[in-house]
Amino acid sequence: MHINEILFWFLTALALFSAMMVVFSKNPVHSVLWLIMVFMAITGHYIIMNAQFLAIVNMIVYAGAIMVLFLFVIMFMNLNAESEPQKSKWMKFAAVLSGGSLMLILIAALKDNDGFISSMRGEGSIGLIKNLGKVLFTEYVVPFEISSILFLSAMVGAVVLAKKESSTIVS
Amino acid sequence: MITMDLLAIDLAYGLEKLLLIGGIITVSLIVAMYTTYAERKVAAWMQDRRGPNRAGPFGLLQPVADGLKLFFKEEIIPLTSNKTLFVLGPALAMVTAMLTSAVIPWGSSINIFGRDVSLQIADVNIGILYVFGVVSMGVYGIMIGGWSSNNKFSLIAAVRGASQIISYELAMGLSLIALLMMTGSLSLKTIVQQQMEGGWNIIYQPLGFLIFLICVFAECNRTPFDLPEAENELNFGYHQEYSSMKLGLYLFSEYVNMFISSAVVSTLFFGGYDIPFVDEAALSLSLGANTVALLGFGALFAKILFFLFLFIWVRWTIPRFRYDQLMDLGWKKLIPLALANMLITALVILWLNK
């Protein structure tokens, strides 16, 4: 077995196991920590695919920044088994049904995709920072700029909301 | 036969890297150990005291005595804490402190028995981004430790620490973008080689260096940014419930962080293993490449020691910020300053290339 293959199966098992644990953990903080493990495993997958830039950005943005905010919120909410709101039986049934159909669609979409498998061999170079940057700033420059404006407006919106809150408290 | 050869080469390569990793970790730990000693000695010197002078000559065995004391103390895990995470916290803090050392070029390559051995564990083409990734992981050690202690002071300290690290990461990244626009590479080795030819980056990026340095102080939780362990407000900070070597690991990881970040600052702005005012290529003809590589390592080490001294110097000179002042400095001063620095650098680069 090639070393990439061993790593692939190890990371896949790790990602799936951690994803299961996210759902099955009783403690929400544990769930967040398992979710970080999922992101780490996916980072490993990106590295196998020779997409180092994506790997490290995945680690900084998802595992680093976003999960820290999740952890912040959950640590302050002081959730535990007693205060957990119990969903009704029908709600749980609907959740299983919708989740299951999403999984079915994903499996159907990825089942016959050969490009997906071949990129696992670590031969592609599109994920390297130079190539990605060139594509992003020539072919996809308009969507790139539009999405950055979207982020900017979100940022401004957050600041406006925060300002409003504090001014009412002061007055 | 061919496969056997391949395996042999791989084995030698693996062994070489393993030895390098072991060496670097040992050096980091020893330097961190003696930084605690240096901290107390320098503090004593600045306050006109003697400092530790009982264990060994000039008190040189003091860090060993401290370490042994921590090891032999009773291990207490609070009853109401979350046991797994309580143990995971300090381990994570230590591991993330060490991980950054993988991409730092500790020297050029040396030649042992006909093999060129590079003094860098991994020369990846995203080197500096890797540093950021590991730094952003460092938050978890503090947060998990503070939360799992099940103590409100620990939790407040952990949240303070985490929000401080996240805030200063932004200014840190922005100050580095200006540098990266100049070098055009994310690989730390390439950055050092460019500095060997074209002069140190501190000459071109003095403002970027200043912002970066301030952010490094904040990331390491050092005075004047040591709010997470502000004794007068939070007793002992996020490691209040810890005892024995778990406390030791938290305290120790701070010093390892200082060592590694000094290495990053020297690499990015002060030429890394470049020996100042000396042409390495000419020198290696007269002295041999190995000697020059070792001298380069010495030069890097001297720069690191200077920055460690700077850390200590600042700690015993400047008082702690208030928390709102800290956030003000990070968000309202450093980030706009870093953005301005970035724009000016971009304009100058455009103007020069025209």
pLDDT per position as a tens digit, B185-197 = 888 888 888 888 8
pLDDT in tens, A3-27: 777 888 899 999 999 999 998 888 8
**Mean pLDDT score, A118-127:** 60
Question: Quick one: which H or E segment has residue B349?
Answer: helix B335-353
**Cβ–Cβ under 8 Å, residues B215 and B209:** no
The closest CB to that of A53, out of B126, B159, B166, belongs to B126
CA distance B252 to A119: 42
Residue B29's H or E segment, with its range, is helix B2-46
A interface test, pick of B156, B177, B186 with most A CB neighbours within 10 Å: B186
Q: Roughly how many angstroms between the first and final C-alpha of chain B, as a whole number?
A: 57
pLDDT at A57 over 80: yes
Nearest to A64 by CA among B217, B190, B312, B173: B173
A138 to each of A17, A142, A149, B351, how far by Cα in Å?
40, 9, 18, 22
The dihedrals phi and psi of B112, each to the nearest 5 degrees, come to -120, 120
Q: Which residues of chain B fall below pLDDT 70?
A: 1-9, 230-233, 354
Burial of residue A78 (number of CB atoms within 10 Å: 0-12, 13-18, 19+): exposed
Element (H, E) at B282: helix B280-287
Residue B182: per-residue pLDDT: 87
Cα(first)–Cα(last) distance of chain A, in Å? 69
Q: B163 contacts in A (CB within 8 Å)?
A: 72
Residue B79 three-state SS: coil
**Helices marked H in B185-243 — which ranges?**
188-198, 201-204, 206-219, 231-234
Q: Higher-confidence residue: B189 or A83?
A: B189
Please tell me the pTM assigned to this model: 0.85
The minimum CA-CA distance between B86 and chain A, rounded to whole Å, is 12
State the greatest distance between any 2 C-alpha atoms of chain B, in Å, as a whole number. Answer: 69
How many residues comprise chain A?
171
The pLDDT score that the predictor gives to residue A145 is 92
Residue predicted with more confidence, B7 or A145: A145
In A19-38, the residues whose Cβ lies within 8 Å of chain B are 27, 29, 33, 36
102-141 in chain A: CB under 8 A from chain B: 128-129
Query: Which residue intervals of B100-184 are DSSP H helices?
Result: 127-148, 152-183
The Cα–Cα gap between B119 and B106 comes to 5
Of the partner residues B133, B144, B162, the one whose CB lies closest to the CB of residue A56: B133
The stretch A129-140 carries a mean pLDDT of 84
Per-domain boundaries in chain A: 3-81+88-128, 140-171
Give pLDDT, residue B1. Answer: 36
- A60 lies within 8 A of chain B by CB: yes
Cα distance between residue B17 and residue B101, in whole Å: 13
Q: Per-residue pLDDT for A79 more than 70?
A: no
Tokens of B50: 């003697």
Question: Contact at 8 Å (CB) between B150 and A75?
Answer: no
> What pLDDT score was predicted for residue A108?
87
Q: CA of B133: which chain A residue's CA is closest?
A: A60
Identify the closest residue of chain B to A63 by CA–CA distance: B137
CB B68 within 8 A of CB B55: no
Beta-carbon contacts of A64 under 8 Å, excluding residues fewer than 6 positions away, are B133, B136, B137, B139
Q: What is the CATH number of domain A3-81+88-128?
A: 1.20.120.1200
CB B209 within 8 A of CB B310: no
The answer to whether residue A82 scores a pLDDT higher than 70 is no
CA B335 – CA B333 distance, rounded (Å) = 6
Q: At B152, list the tokens.
A: 């409100």
The pLDDT assigned to B101 comes to 87
